[in-house]
Amino acid sequence: MSKHVDRRFTTWTARLLTLLVVSWGLSVTARAVEREDVLKPPYGPSISGSDPKTLKGKIMTGYQGWFNCEGDGANLTWTHWAKDLTQPFQPGNIAVDQWPDVTEYDADELYDTPFKHANGSTAKVFSAHNRKTVLRHFKWMADYG
């Protein structure tokens, strides 16, 4: 190889390695920023909690964001709305005992179902795959206990 070809090869290799290192560094930084955003402490006033050493006088609750809808992006169809996910979500294949009150949800949080209300309007439900809905649920828990 001539010196001219050697130098071009070395320069090209150095540029490629620099590009790879910079790209890797940017991706690591982006992931760290995402984690920081998720792990940042809550904003607003802090309220003193109860004694963590005992369950006496307490009620245990939890949040299970497991309701999904056809078209919500999770590709889990009507999980926890329908009894049998291999069958259409329709009368006779419903897993909930009570239909949810969705009057406080925004339109972009609701999913049409094959069910109809007595007035003929389409019955809608929510999905826990929707970030806005999950944030709403956590706000309700904070507001109402």
96-133 residue pLDDT tens:
999 999 999 999 999 999 999 999 999 999 999 999 99
R_g over Cα of the chain = 26
Please give the helix or strand (H or E) that residue 115 lies within, else none.
strand 110-116
| pLDDT tens figures, 41-90 | 667 776 677 788 888 888 877 788 889 999 999 999 999 999 999 999 99
For residue 59, give the 3-state DSSP assignment: coil
Which sign, positive or negative, has the C-alpha torsion 25, 28, 32, 34? positive
**Residue 105 tokens, joined:** 């949800």
Please give the helix or strand (H or E) that residue 37 lies within, else none.
helix 3-39
What residue has token string 């007595």? 118
State the amino acid at position 28 in one-letter form.
V
Q: What is the pTM of this model?
A: 0.59
Buried b (16+ CB within 10 A) or exposed e, 51-82: eeeeeeeeeeeeeeeebbbbebeeebbbbbbb
Q: What is the DSSP letter of 82?
A: B
**Which residue, among 137, 119, 117, 118, has the nearest Cα to 127 in the 3D structure?**
137
